[in-house]
Structure 1
Amino acid sequence: MREREDQLASMQDADPGLAVLPPLDTSPRGWLAVVGGFACLFVSFGWITCIGVFQAYYSTHQLQDYSASAVGWIPSAETFLLFLGVPLFGGLFDRLGPTWLLAIGTALHVGGLLGAANATTYAQLFATQSVVSAMGTGAIFVAGTTAVGTWFRARRGLALGLVSAGSAIGAVLGTALIPVLFDSIGFPWTMRAVALTYFVLMVVALATTSRRPQPSASTPPPFRLSSLLPASLLRSRPVLVLAVACFFYFLGVFIPYNYLVVEALDGGDGDQSANNLLVILSATSTVGRIVPGVLGDRYGRFNTTIGFTLFSVVLVLCIWIAAPWRAGRIVFAALYGFGSGTFVSMVPTLVAQVCPDMGQLGLYLGAVYLVIAPSVLIAQPVGGALASAGQNQARDSYVWLKVFCAVSMALGVIGFVAARAAYQGNPGKLWWGGKV
């Protein structure tokens, strides 16, 4: 499997008819696509990463009469539908390219946010934010990341790291400004201001995002409805093991993003102090989404992913659980943002590595995210139930939530080790395997 991409990359040299294709890694159009991808991640994953702000706000305003688990379904379903949108839109990307997906995603995402601005009930908020807007973010995420992946090979980790930094910066600005806007102009106008900002960024993305033309041999087969749920690609062992690893890792990785602010408020921190934790986490995540890409290009993308994900597990065990007080939360937020940032930048990079044909990258990305999607759907409601179950714990009422986070992510790390071995063609060889 690992040699197929090298063989496809050499086709341009072997066939003079392919010499007109734009170069990999150095094309100006490719770097323009990085700009567009940055904007796409700013408005998609950057928005999703702000869900902790809404978890806390809804719990004390519109949905204060609902349980933490019930409120948790709104951000959980929102993240789930972003991920479910990847298999739904991945096959469409292979057939249509990014422009149509960006147009559809912009209409859904911006329209959903404008609808949420006028929402007052649980059902209205769920429909506009967790369904309509979320499906739009899925289309935007697929278009931005997949288009960039087609333009790069040796520097793919760096390129996708820069793209994913857009989500971190979007999260920093969102978590810092949205609570301030809630207090100054109110919830409805805050949502309208966000929608307008995202619309402008999507105009930039539409103008700059393109897909690299593929050799005729890479032309995807005729589109079928089965392409919307490309489960057949999971028959490939590397793809299946990678997808399962991502399922367990994503089962835990979002929990601190959602519950760190809520925990701080329950611990006596003020609104501003508690929200600053999410700002810190998002700010350090900017570095944590670029650095793994650079290191992955140099030392191996599987190796880098394993190292950073293991680091995140250690942080949960040794700081978030061991030091459940204000100073511990600040240190944890700063380090966890850096360590967990790899979950945005490296997963598309790993999918591209196990994909034998860039003309079907959208389908392969969709197959992996088809498995990931259920994990983010159940993670936050389960987290809410565990948070409630720990109320009798005098030292830390969130301890069972944190243990669940650590165990889930640890299973993901083991899965990444197994995926590396499967990609090398030796599932039994779990130890160090060189630059992989």
Structure 2
Amino acid sequence: MASTDNAENITSMYDLKTDPENAAQPESDLSGETERDPEDARGLNIGHKLGDATKLEDAGLPNGGAAAWLVVLGAWCCSFSSPGWINTATRWTNSNALPPGVGSFQQYYEVGPLKDYSSSTIAWIPSLQLFFLFALGLVVGIIFDNYGPRPLIIGGTLLHVFGLMMASLAKTYYQFILSQGVCSAIGVASLACISTWFSKKRGAAMGIMVTGSSVGGVIFPIMISRMIQSTGYPWTMRTAAFLILGLQIIAILTVHPRTKPVPKNMTAGRFAAPFREFPFVMLLLGIFVLTYGIFVPIVYLAVQGSQEAQMSEEMAQYLVSIFNAASLFGRLAAGYSADTIGRWNMFIIACSLSGISVFAVWIPAKDSFIAIGFAIMFGFTSGAFIGLSGALPISVSPLPETGYRLGLVLLAISIPALTLAPTGGAILQNSANGWLDVKIFGGVMCLAASAIVLVSRLLYTEKKLFKVF
């Protein structure tokens, strides 16, 4: 499952832009007029025109050059190591409907050290990883605003690698929970926090960066599946940890803020400000609903392919890798297109197409060819969810509150991410129509969420439907 980081994302989910030296200066709205002092910033005060959404553009941003692209390289390594790993970990977060052989982690746990535990109990291990990736975004975002990305990347690297190393030695359920589900997961959340040096080319830069999680989502599942069979679980986890450590060393050396971070106090007014903005509340609601719609197909791709589409166990295991490969191109396309038609517009269009693809392709996907076609189509269209989720709150947030508001979006993702597998499993096992109801649930959630985000976008742009935003 893609964060599956998401992610991803987690991902560009952490599309943070910090310029503390300018944080003490007045901000500008879309028209370029100077507005309030950040010390009194309260987001988009509804008393102001909603079309004057705060836009965090800085004319001094380099939008290229060796230093800027090295930051993208380091961020790509973080994306590979954090949402990319979560793509693998949550790849095995299935319900009791999981058939034997589909999901090497799950299979290893069930027949090995955790054979006395049910599938649903074991599934809490990867579910916690996904939850921590997003739920800690609020804390990570505030730390980022005050201290920049490097302390988070260093700390995240240590926790992530240490957690995986300890998981390779784990024997009991609580050891797997603490090492893989908690320690490694907290490190993953920290690794996903990156900064960007781009404004005009931000969509393209973020599109390139988030392909890291897609590449990780392709490589890690195949690597884990093969190595567990050939070398065993312990050395599989250690090999993954060493690979992640090498990539994170690159990130530590290359990812840094353009200016030195300046700690800022978050007043009670700033904590409450996003919840007093109806458009921002609608954005949070839309992201919350959309998480169910996007993650349902990702979580159940392999299971549906094996059970309903009559695919072989080996082919079913590769469905998520196919999805992630298609998502790579979708994220690139969404990033480049967002610079032309607007990030919000691109996000809404892509997520609407994701819902349509569920109804048009996944519902009739009862043979292997259609199931593969859906994995490709849905992977491409849903790439914008990971690629642009972080860009939406940033584009309408006061600079000193960027990390905090992005953290709220990630928190809105964390609850569906944690409850998705049991919710989908309950629908699958208790409904009369089985897979049809699961698919309808996913499709309806995608389309409903797209409509909610569209309402938020219209409020921010004074109901201008065709505005680049």
- For the 8 Å contact 1:244–1:372, the answer to whether it is kept is no
- The residue number in structure 2 matching 1:260 is 301
- The residue number in structure 2 matching 1:16 is none
Q: In the aligned structure 2, how far is the partner of 1:60 from the partner of 1:96?
A: 41
1:7 offset after TM fit, Å? 5.3
- For the 8 Å contact 1:283–1:337, the answer to whether it is kept is yes
- For the 8 Å contact 1:234–1:367, the answer to whether it is kept is no
- The residue number in structure 2 matching 1:17 is none
How many residue pairs get matched?
408
Within the alignment, does 1:99 sit opposite 2:150 as a pair? yes
- The residue number in structure 1 matching 2:133 is 82
2:237 is matched by which residue type in structure 1? Answer: M
Q: Residues 213, 120 of structure 1: CA spacing in aligned structure 2 closer, same or farther, 3 A cutoff? A: same
Q: In the aligned structure 2, how far is the partner of 1:80 from the partner of 1:260?
A: 20
Q: Secondary structure at the match of 1:50?
A: helix
Report which stretch shifted further, 104-113 or 363-372: 363-372
1:323 offset after TM fit, Å? 2.2
- The residue number in structure 2 matching 1:362 is 403
Once the two structures are superposed, residues 387-408 of structure 1 have per-residue CA deviations (whole angstroms, 9 ceiling, x without a partner) of 2224x64xxx422222221222
Within the alignment, does 1:210 sit opposite 2:210 as a pair? no
Q: By percentage of residues, which structure has more helix?
A: 1
- The residue number in structure 2 matching 1:29 is 67
Q: Secondary structure at the match of 1:49?
A: helix
Within the alignment, does 1:375 sit opposite 2:416 as a pair? yes
- Correspondent of 1:241 among 282, 294, 304: 282
Report which stretch shifted further, 366-375 or 59-68: 59-68
For structure 1, the residue ranges without an aligned partner over 5 or more in a row are 12-19
Q: In the aligned structure 1, how far is the partner of 2:31 from the partner of 2:121?
A: 45
Q: Secondary structure at the match of 2:466?
A: coil
- The residue number in structure 1 matching 2:110 is 63
- For the 8 Å contact 1:239–1:368, the answer to whether it is kept is no
2:285 is matched by which residue type in structure 1? Answer: V
1:2 offset after TM fit, Å? 8.4
- For the 8 Å contact 1:49–1:257, the answer to whether it is kept is no
Once the two structures are superposed, residues 215-235 of structure 1 have per-residue CA deviations (whole angstroms, 9 ceiling, x without a partner) of xxx9563267x79x9554332
Q: Secondary structure at the match of 2:109?
A: coil
1:379 offset after TM fit, Å? 1.1
2:265 is matched by which residue type in structure 1? Answer: P
Q: In the aligned structure 2, how far is the partner of 1:274 from the partner of 1:348?
A: 31
Report which stretch shifted further, 379-388 or 121-130: 121-130
1:108 offset after TM fit, Å? 1.2
1:183 is matched by which residue type in structure 2? Answer: Q
> Where do residues 87-236 of structure 1 align in structure 2 (5 Å cutoff)?
87-142=138-193, 144=194, 147-148=195-196, 151-213=197-259, 221-222=264-265, 230=271, 232-236=273-277
- The residue number in structure 1 matching 2:8 is none
Q: In the aligned structure 2, how far is the partner of 1:70 from the partner of 1:413?
A: 33
1:67 offset after TM fit, Å? 4.8
TM-score, scaled to structure 2:
0.80
Q: What is the alpha-carbon root mean square deviation over aligned residues? A: 2.7
- Correspondent of 2:87 among 49, 54, 61: 49
Within the alignment, does 1:419 sit opposite 2:452 as a pair? no
1:169 is matched by which residue type in structure 2? Answer: V
- For the 8 Å contact 1:69–1:385, the answer to whether it is kept is no
Report which stretch shifted further, 235-244 or 39-48: 235-244
Report which stretch shifted further, 156-165 or 404-413: 404-413
1:5 offset after TM fit, Å? 8.9
- Correspondent of 1:314 among 341, 356, 367: 356
Q: In the aligned structure 2, how far is the partner of 1:343 from the partner of 1:192?
A: 31
- Correspondent of 2:383 among 341, 366, 379: 341
Percent identity, aligned pairs only, is 30
Q: Residues 124, 230 of structure 1: CA spacing in aligned structure 2 closer, same or farther, 3 A cutoff? A: farther
1:289 is matched by which residue type in structure 2? Answer: R
Q: Residues 85, 23 of structure 1: CA spacing in aligned structure 2 closer, same or farther, 3 A cutoff? A: same
Q: Secondary structure at the match of 2:110?
A: coil
- The residue number in structure 1 matching 2:18 is none
- The residue number in structure 2 matching 1:435 is 468
- Correspondent of 1:3 among 19, 29, 32: 29
1:63 is matched by which residue type in structure 2? Answer: E
1:282 is matched by which residue type in structure 2? Answer: N
2:305 is matched by which residue type in structure 1? Answer: A
2:108 is matched by which residue type in structure 1? Answer: H
1:196 offset after TM fit, Å? 0.5
Q: Residues 289, 328 of structure 1: CA spacing in aligned structure 2 closer, same or farther, 3 A cutoff? A: same
1:238 offset after TM fit, Å? 3.3
- For the 8 Å contact 2:28–2:34, the answer to whether it is kept is no
For structure 2, the residue ranges without an aligned partner over 5 or more in a row are 1-26, 38-57, 94-102
TM-score, scaled to structure 1:
0.86
Report which stretch shifted further, 37-46 or 403-412: 403-412
Q: In the aligned structure 1, how far is the partner of 2:174 from the partner of 2:31?
A: 47
Q: In the aligned structure 2, how far is the partner of 1:60 from the partner of 1:239?
A: 42
Q: Secondary structure at the match of 2:232?
A: helix
Q: Residues 231, 39 of structure 1: CA spacing in aligned structure 2 closer, same or farther, 3 A cutoff? A: farther
Q: Secondary structure at the match of 1:63?
A: helix
Within the alignment, does 1:400 sit opposite 2:443 as a pair? no
Q: In the aligned structure 2, how far is the partner of 1:8 from the partner of 1:289?
A: 34
2:335 is matched by which residue type in structure 1? Answer: G
Q: In the aligned structure 1, how far is the partner of 2:339 from the partner of 2:375?
A: 27
Once the two structures are superposed, residues 11-45 of structure 1 have per-residue CA deviations (whole angstroms, 9 ceiling, x without a partner) of 9xxxxxxxx99534134322211111101111111
Report which stretch shifted further, 269-278 or 240-249: 269-278
